[in-house]
Structure 1
Amino acid sequence: MSQNFVDDKALVCISFILERLKAHQAETHDRPLIIGLNGVQGVGKTTLVAALAVALENDGVHTLICSIDDFYLKHEDQVALARDHADNALMQHRGEPGTHDVALAKAVFASLMQRRPAHLPRYDKGAFHGQGDRLPETQWKAVNQPGQAPVRAVILEGWSVGFRAIGPEGVEAKWKAPSRTLRKHRLEHLLFLDQSLKEYDGLTDLFGAFIHIDSEHVEFVYPWRQEQEDCLRAEKGDPDAGMTPEQVVKFVDGYFPGYELYTDGVRRGIFSDRPGCQLRMVVGRDRRVKQVIRI
């Protein structure tokens, strides 16, 4: 991430979260507020959620941060998925809907919602030469344990958090329309992605609040990701660390179909019956907030 980056999103978000938390507590006193947070790669999600957790803790709100990445399939299961769908490029790498252990995520969140003891899985992206693997359960994060303060707010962040399936007709319409990456994939492969996404509704429906860090142009994800790689090289002092510009384009292209399929739906709002529970912040190339919209 650019060293000149200044995050002005936290103040906007914290007032929204505290407002939703107050309303949530008025309705139910024994469940934490689940907050979904979506943003394209490189927009600053990690920096933002860390700042939000500190601010909430300072307000006496014990907060748990987790990423959809925490719930990736085990390495052996990802390998099997890729093998079973060998001709589908979208299933050859982790990240897309379908590459997460949704059943595990639902079980963890069920415990959190009931304020029962739980363990948040951890994922090692460097295992198996970068293919990644889930860490042993002995290394998972323990929450709601005896002697620990109960979690009152949970922030689930990720590039695809809040995506909802658009159905065969919706997928085909977007596939036929001009796009950057969709026509690089067979229609049936995009339909498989969309079908897999339906499993995630059980998580999305738990959100009592949703934050969307939108960008004026989704294509900003390419330079933002490149800046992350540049910072990695600077931090390590190794000019060969990180991905080359060509590798960055190939990497982001692997995720871009999800943006092209589902960003419009997130912009319209992921809740059908809860007006005011979604916050959309539109940021410019410098990642600074240009517009704030309540949905």
Structure 2
Amino acid sequence: MPEIVDDKSPHCIPFIVERIKAHQNRFKDQSDVPPFFLGINGVQGAGKSTLVSALSQTLESPPHSLPTAVLSIDDLYLTHADQRKLASDHPSNPLIQHRGEPGTHDIRLGAYVLDALAQGRQVKLPRYEKAAFDGEGDRADPATWAEVNGPGQPRIQVVVFEGWCVAFRPLTGEALRERWEDSRKRAAEGVESVMARHGLENLAWVNEALKAYDTFTDKLDALIHIDAEDTKFVYRWRLEQEAELRRLKGKGMTNEQVVKFVDGYYPAYELFTDTLRVGVFGSEHGKQLRLIVGEDRKVKKVLRI
């Protein structure tokens, strides 16, 4: 896998520091400021993990010295058993036959953890093992989860919530139908669309499930969106990631399984990315940063939304 050089944090750190100061200035009593919630959405393989690592290290180091917790939405996937049950309960919907799409995460667990962090309570951060069950994945043993806000630990002041579908907002039924019909039209004209391969009712199931994710998005104080000039770059990037996983752990998905896996969640990019690009904070401008990267994963353009 090509080395991913962090060219994103120089754009992101000034933005984050500014937003944290604005957040802190809202409170008269600085000893009672709740944690700042930063969302990071990134096309899989675009360098999101590298950015998250750089940001958390920077925030925890002087001169900022802000205790930071990182939670990935990937670590909120359903257990293997629950995912298998979901798949068997909806055998005609190929979008939820494996982890990936909205609806395959444990919303209750995520809400509990984020609420605990918001309130400064002691909590363990879930962890998911993607290589388990030959790449199907499963939740790691809770005994291995890291604990924060415990006795003798500094209180978390920044929460970084990251993931490929973080801050996706559901569409109206009319908008969903329009996008699906447009994808079918373009497919008939020879323009490839993964979404067009699926029935509207299966896409509607995912869209309905996404409504529950607003409980996560509504907690965010700012968002960084690592976008791609072409979201289809995700296929190459995800293949490289899995090859590295197989090299390091000796197990994981084959290339054919990776392509099928990406096909399973790619319709969400087609459905929800445009809304994300417009901005998820409504009339509150300036709280979202969009980094557009090329196939080499390097930043080509930066937009403040």
Q: Could you state the TM-score of these two structures normalised by the residue count of structure 1?
A: 0.93
Percent of residue pairs identical:
52
- Rate the CA distance shift 1:183–1:277 in 2: closer, same or farther, 3 A: same
- CA displacement at 1:145 relative to structure 2: 0.7
CA contact (8 A) 2:135 2:253 kept: no
How many Å separate the matches in 1 of 2:69 and 2:79?
23
Instruction: Find the partner of 1:130 among 118, 135, 147.
Output: 135
* Structure 1 position 8 matched with structure 2 position 7: yes
Question: Which shows bigger deviation, 122-131 or 194-203?
Answer: 122-131
SS in 1 for 2:133: coil
How far does the alpha carbon of each residue in 1:142-170 deviate from its partner, in whole angstroms, 9 at most, with x for none?
A: 11011101111111111100100002111
How far does the alpha carbon of each residue in 1:198-250 deviate from its partner, in whole angstroms, 9 at most, with x for none?
A: 000011000001000011111111122223244446657x8xx6555444322
* Amino acid in structure 1 at the alignment position of 2:17: L
How many Å separate the matches in 2 of 1:193 and 1:234?
33
Other-structure match for 1:259: 269
- CA displacement at 1:80 relative to structure 2: 1.2
How many Å separate the matches in 1 of 2:171 and 2:74?
23
Other-structure match for 2:278: 268
CA contact (8 A) 1:2 1:231 kept: no
How many Å separate the matches in 1 of 2:83 and 2:39?
25
Other-structure match for 1:195: 208
* Amino acid in structure 1 at the alignment position of 2:90: H
* Structure 1 position 284 matched with structure 2 position 283: no
How many Å separate the matches in 2 of 1:267 and 1:57?
29
SS in 1 for 2:120: coil
* Structure 1 position 75 matched with structure 2 position 84: no
Other-structure match for 1:221: 234
How many Å separate the matches in 1 of 2:246 and 2:131?
17
How far does the alpha carbon of each residue in 1:86-133 deviate from its partner, in whole angstroms, 9 at most, with x for none?
A: 110111001111111111111111111111111111122233333222
Mapping of 1:37-52 within 5 angstroms? 37-52=40-55
CA contact (8 A) 1:2 1:228 kept: no
- Rate the CA distance shift 1:165–1:129 in 2: closer, same or farther, 3 A: same
How many Å separate the matches in 2 of 1:139 and 1:6?
30
CA contact (8 A) 1:7 1:287 kept: no
5+ residue gaps, structure 1, are: none
How many Å separate the matches in 1 of 2:104 and 2:252?
23
How many Å separate the matches in 1 of 2:65 and 2:139?
32
SS in 2 for 1:164: coil
CA contact (8 A) 1:63 1:151 kept: yes
* Amino acid in structure 1 at the alignment position of 2:235: Y
Other-structure match for 2:103: 98
Report the count of equivalent residues. Answer: 291
Other-structure match for 2:189: none
Q: Could you state the TM-score of these two structures normalised by the residue count of structure 2?
A: 0.90
CA-based RMSD of the aligned residues comes to 1.7
How many Å separate the matches in 1 of 2:129 and 2:233?
27
* Structure 1 position 184 matched with structure 2 position 197: yes
How many Å separate the matches in 2 of 1:247 and 1:79?
17
CA contact (8 A) 2:71 2:159 kept: yes
5+ residue gaps, structure 2, are: 187-191
How far does the alpha carbon of each residue in 1:257-285 deviate from its partner, in whole angstroms, 9 at most, with x for none?
A: 00000000000001113210000011111
- CA displacement at 1:175 relative to structure 2: 0.9
* Amino acid in structure 1 at the alignment position of 2:270: E
